[in-house]
Structure formats: C-alpha cells, structure tokens
A and B are shown apart, each in its own frame.
Chain A
Amino acid sequence: MHRLRRAVGRVCSVPKPHQTSGASIDRERLNDEEAARFDDGEPPIGWIAWWANKAQEIDARGGGALITLEPGLLGYRRVQPIDADALKQQMDSVIWTRAAGVVLAWGVPESAMNKRHFRRIPCAGAVGVHIDGCGAILMADPDTTNAWAW
C-alpha cells in the first residue's frame, strides 16, 4: 500500500493527518461476459460506473477536479473541473494505465483550475487510478477514509 500511496501523494498534497485506502477489480467476482471483456483489456462496466459515480460524489464535495498526466518528461499535470465525458475518455487512454495518471480530487482551490502543474496540487482528498487502471487509491482525512463506500 505504501508504494501505491506514494504515486497519489506525488500528485496531490493532502493535509495531514490523512489515511490511505484502496480497492481493485476482483476478476473472480465478474460474470463470464465481464471477465471475457476484462481479459481483452476493457474495463468492466461496473468499474466504469463506479468511477462515474465517484466523480459525481467528489464533485458534490466542492472544488472537485480531474487531474490528468500530460505528455512530456517533466510529468506536468492538467487540472480541470470534473467532467463525466472527459473521465470516460481517459479510461480508454494510455494514462489510465499509469500510476496516478488520472486522479479525482476535491477541495482544489479555484486558482489551480485549468492550469498545468509541475508541483503537487493542494486538495482536501483524492482518488487516483493505479494497478494498470484496475485499482483505486484513496487519500483523505481519517473520517472520510473510514466512511468511504467502495
């Protein structure tokens, strides 16, 4: 978990104290059709829906942002307001398979929006994609982490 957390921690500056939690796709629990889809490299429908729901939920917390990795050696991140279509598009892209290539964050200051960032982005909490796009890592204050519904 420490290694997984580090990827999100490099992108977002979540105030301390914070906790980390995570979940990933469990292939054994997928039905045959979903398992076949998963084996062919497509995310299961339920996984796509989970991220869409979380995007809505995070957006409702205020200061919601979609943080995406930009091309280039320096690893800049683009911060933009959460958009369901944009998130869905990212799920098909290369950055979805990168550690914290896509992050949903809340409590992001307005001044950070619609800009490219080299430094860590201040936010109240964040959920980042990991494990080749098949896992989600949450980093937030202990209350939020404990109450988080995976």
Chain B
Amino acid sequence: MSVADRPIVMPGSSGQVAEYPEHHYLNHSKGFLSWALTLDHKRIGVMYLIGVMASFALGGMFALMIRIHLWNFQDGWLENKTYNQVFTLHGAIMVFLFIIPSIPAALGNFLLPIMLGSKDVAFPRLNLMSFYLWVSGLVLFLVALSVTGLDTGWTFYTPYSIETQKGGAVLAATMGVFVLGFSSIFTGVNFIVTINTMRPPGMTWFKMPLFLWATYATAIIQVLATPVLGITVLLLAAERVLGIGIFDPKLNGDPVTFQHFFWFYSHPAVYIMILPAMGIISELMSVHCHKGIFGYRMIAYSSIAIALFGFLVWGHHMFTSGMADVTTIVFSALTFTVSIPSAIKVFNWLGTMYQGTVSLNTPMLYALAFIFLFTIGGLTGLPLGALSTDMHMHDTYFVVAHFHYVMMGGTLVAFLGGVFHWWPKMTGKMFNDKVGIISAAIVFVGFNLTFLPQFVLGTRGMPRRYATYLEEFQDLHRLSTIGSLVLGFGLVVAGLVLFHSLFYGKRAPKNPWGGATLEWECTSPPPHDNFASAPTVDDPYNFAGIEYDPKTGGYAKA
C-alpha cells in the first residue's frame, strides 16, 4: 500500500480524517479488470447495487405492462398467454433478482465491514464468487424466462410446472434459481463469520448497530433456508428428467408436497426480504431524529425472533390447499406470533421520534413512508392469518395488495431510503434534497393509489393472475393503473436525482446526517482500506455531542 492510499491525517487534530479525501476506493485503481476482479467489498457492493437496480427497472417495466393490460376488463393489448408470461417474469425477477439480493448484497456488502470498523469481509474471494454466481444465475434465469416463454408464475406450482410442455423452460429457470440460491448462501456465510469474528475491540453484541443485527438475522435465514430451495429444485428436476414420482399425481406423487417444500424456503425468504429493511429503518430513524434508538434491545431481539418464527409459518400460504384441520389451525396460531415482534419494532420507531429532533429530509421521508406502508401491510396480514377470513381472501387481489405493501411499500421504500441515506458515503456526492423529497411524495401517493383499490377488489372477490375479468371490477382496476403510472414516474424522478448528483452534486462531507455509527467516521467516499487503524468504538446511538458544522455542511463530534 502506497502512502497516498492512506487517509490524510490533518496535523494537530489527532487521528482526525480529512473532510474531502483525494484518494478513495473509487479512484484507488482504474480499468475494467480492477472492478471485475476486485476483492474490495465496497466495489462488489456497488456492482450489486447497479445489478439489482437494473433488475428492478426491468421488473418494473413488466409491472407497468400488466397494469396497462388490465385497463379494460377484456381484450387487453396482450394475449392471455403473453399476459401469463409477463406476470411470471415480473414476479420472478422482482423476487429472485431484486428483493432478495437488494439490501443484503448491495447495501450490506458495502456497509457491513465499515460499520464493524474492519477492512473487508471475512472471505473477500467468496464474496466476489457470490457476485459472479448471481450474475450467472441472472443470465440463466433471464434466458430461460424470455426465450422459452415460461408461464408458471414465480411459484412453479406442480403439476402445472411439470405438465406444461415448456418443460425445458422450467428446468432452466429452476437451475437459475438454484445458482442464485448459492450466491445468497455465500453472502450469508460471509456475513455471519464477519460479524462473529471481526468486531472491533469494545463492540459487544449489544453495541452493534441495529442494521448489523438485522443483517445477522437475515444471514442465518439465508444459510438455513436456501438449501431447502435447492433440494426442491433438484427434486423437481429429478421428476422431470428421471420420471420419479414425487409431486406429479400421475406418478403417484403429491402436488401439495411441492407447496410444503417451496414455502418452507419461500416464507423465510420473505424475512430475508424484510428484515434488512427493518435494519435500515432503525438506522434512519435514529440518525435523522438525532436521538438514540428507542428500546435497542427489544429491536435486536425482535429481529432474531422474527428470523426464528419465520421458519414455522410456511403453512399459511396453503390454508385452502386441503391440509389437515389441525395442521391448518396450528399454522394459523404460529402465524400470529410473527406479528408481535413486527408490532414492537413499529412502536419502537415511533418512540424514537418522541422528543427527538426530526430532520424531514429525503431518507427520513422514505423511512416514514416505510413505517406507514409497512403498518398497513402488517395489519392487513391479520385477516389473512385468521382462517375463516382467509378462506375468502386467499388468492385474491387482497393478497396481492397485502404483499405489495410489505414487499414494495416495505422493502423497496426502505431500500430507497437506505440508498439515499448512504449515497453520499458511497459516491462522495450530495443529491438535491428538495427534488428527493418530491420523489418520496410522488412514490408515496402513487403507491397508495395503486394498491389501496386492490384491497377493495380483493374483498369483492377479484381473483389473482386473471388476464381478463368481470366488468364490475373495471373502475377499481383503472384507478390502480393510474396509480401505477404515478408510482413509476416517482421512481424515475428518484433515479434521476441520484444520477444527477453523480455529475453535479456537491462534495459530501464525512458525516452529512449526523450519524454516530462507524461508517460516518471515515471519509466519503471511504478509502480503499476503510480505516488506517481500528477505530475506537462508542455507543452507536450516542448522539450527545454530535454538532452541525456549517463550514463543511456536515456534522462532527464536538
């Protein structure tokens, strides 16, 4: 390491890092290969970020195609068959390529080592490998989906997925999922080991930032649940290729078994999606309220509780499938246990605002939007968990609206909040906060306009995955379509704000928001090695003595 790579130490201020670094991880080395073969967790994180954002844009286009098709109750602009392929593409891309890797792989990779004050993750090579697995999974998956016209929905339910003569497509797509699963496992293993072994001296478990608690809980699920997906996919392949009867009733298999296998992974996967989002919100709420998080221990414990309970509730996707009554009732009871830790978190975030100093900037507004939308998503989960009401609402638009509130209103909005929050750290550029706030407002309005009508549609009996529908539902569908266009516009604005800042943004100070966690102690963007020497660890939520400095536009310890 040359001298120039070290953060510049200003004379006189012992160990103080310069506000604007000359050398940082982005210009540490140049050329395509310096990115393609990098072991730097920050660069891998940035590559993931670009990848998942591109996947999201693709999935979003398909979402708009769906909504525009549903403008009229029949004779939409897509054929039924094409419509089925489009919703399959939308679901599969959003779930496997966007939501699951979004926060852990992109933001997690970038932040986790910095928050720990270490130079990198425990296994940098494994980290790079996980990225390439993700890329190859993506290629396999996209080729399978687009070339062969897969139309099974992202759930691949048997026996439809076995019987459909696009069998090759199912096989290729499931192979893609299999590879993506390994990418997810590698990231999980890496994070667990890093957090266990590389915490700096003084950082006990209960002095960890809550984002790390959430990432840790997520990594546990990734490592334990994802192999089951691999097994399921292998069994599916074995059935197709070798003709062993597992799920196909024609070969004495049982299609409901597939649903058990599938949801045993895919339900915990829901928590892979939402837990890191909760972690981001915990950080954002406390930093932008300039106040320590309320009930730290309860939030940390509830992350672990959600991770554990999440393994026990997969049956609630199958209440109408004809499971035994006892099984159904037990799953219903277990399902409700998950709602408690989630409710605790929401109350704690609100408690954090109490008597705080609330800065209403872009990341904070996304965080507040998250709390609002996630609460609606959570509360509408209760009538779905209760058996008698679920009988009516299962597989209707009520469910569609519910999981979009949790996944999109929850994870996506938190992801955006996180990207805005750490954008100055990642790129060293400040974005235009005013336009950012406008984007948050448009996204919020558009989102509710899209999905609130769908709750009403669902309670009136509109089933999911319908390319055509009865005329009585048309008005609500049109409202939802208008909302989706507004939402799409808001997301484009958000994207433009970020893009604009890359070229015209002001240079970011070290600590633009007044955070107390370690990532705000190194420069923006951080140097190649993050920290010259292991930093001293303080309480991550001690905001006393962090003062605004008008000279730099950032905050510094007084």
Task: Tell whether A and B belong to one assembly.
Answer: no
- Which residue numbers of B lie inside 8 Å of A, CB to CB? none
